[in-house]
């Protein structure tokens, strides 16, 4: 996502096609949007660090991500409370209600992305107990890069109000799903071939599940962009929660 928060904020014209009257509502909506974009940048950085820790075996990065948890959690809760306050105070309707609802949805996806980053960071520390765990299998690294790309592109689409790129992210979710299934097949074979390292293989399996969920939340944010711009709720299977979402914290 672009580091230019001001430019990103201006990509959305909140005063166009407004239904709810009052400059105070517009001010509150712009404030909500600014906070969501700032949180998105922090979560994106946490994902970058988490997946770097995974791909490079960097336990120091994993520790840093876990220390960020209280601040990110407080931020997410503050945005949610502000959304509730705006809904109660201004009682927006039509397109204005859609905008506040989208902020709530995106805020929830960002919170889940931050949690998934922490799950992976925690698992990196456990994987470090196996001297042969790093470097991780190449297919798993490829999945990590694909999942991260989904989040990068979805947050760029969010910041730029870019429906075309958002739709590309939604479409690419199916490719990530195929990559995930291939990784799981390979890890199941590794368990059969080398059962003495079953703890490591199972941690890789759980990590792959987390990566697939990261990509899914990227697609959900992309869906929110389409919803914001066009008022359309997409019937995208990738946006719904899938079986085996957030894995056990092994």
- Domain 23-230 matching CATH 1.10.3720.10: the answer reads no
Give the helix ranges, DSSP H, for the chain.
5-10, 23-56, 59-67, 69-90, 94-127, 138-160, 163-193, 198-230
Mean pLDDT calculated for residue range 166-175: 96
pTM, rounded to two decimals: 0.85
Query: Would you list the DSSP string of 84-101?
Result: HHHHHHH---HHHHHHHH
Name 205's Cβ contacts closer than 8 Å, sequence gap at least 6: 184, 187, 247
Average pLDDT over residues 62-71: 84
Q: Contact 118/66 with Cβ under 8 angstroms?
A: yes
Question: Any idea where the domains of the chain sit in the sequence?
Answer: 23-230
What's the pLDDT tens digit per position in 217-249? 999 999 999 988 887 666 654 444 443 344 444
């Amino acid at each position: 996502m672009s580091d230019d928060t001001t430019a990103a904020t201006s990509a959305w014209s909140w005063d166009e096609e407004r239904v709810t009257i009052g400059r105070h509502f517009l001010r509150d909506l712009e404030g909500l949007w600014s906070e969501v974009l700032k949180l998105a940048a922090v979560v994106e950085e946490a994902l970058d660090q988490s997946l770097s820790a995974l791909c490079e075996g960097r336990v120091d990065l994993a520790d840093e991500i876990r220390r960020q948890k209280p601040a990110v959690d407080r931020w997410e809760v503050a945005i949610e409370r502000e959304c509730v306050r705006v809904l109660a105070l201004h009682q927006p309707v039509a397109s204005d209600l859609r905008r506040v609802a989208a902020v709530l949805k995106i805020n929830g996806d960002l919170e889940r992305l931050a949690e998934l980053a922490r799950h992976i960071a925690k698992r990196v520390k456990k994987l470090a107990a196996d001297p042969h765990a790093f470097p991780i299998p190449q297919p798993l690294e490829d999945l990590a890069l694909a999942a991260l790309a989904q989040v990068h592109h979805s947050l760029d689409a969010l910041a730029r109000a870019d429906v075309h790129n958002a739709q590309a992210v939604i479409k690419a979710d199916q490719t990530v799903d195929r990559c995930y299934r291939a990784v799981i097949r390979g890890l199941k074979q590794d368990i059969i071939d080398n059962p003495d390292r079953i703890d490591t293989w199972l941690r890789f399996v759980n990590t792959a599940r987390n990566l697939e969920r990261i990509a899914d939340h990227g697609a959900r944010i992309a869906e929110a962009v389409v919803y914001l711009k066009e008022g359309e709720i997409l019937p995208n299977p990738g946006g719904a929660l899938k079986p085996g979402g957030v894995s056990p914290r092994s």
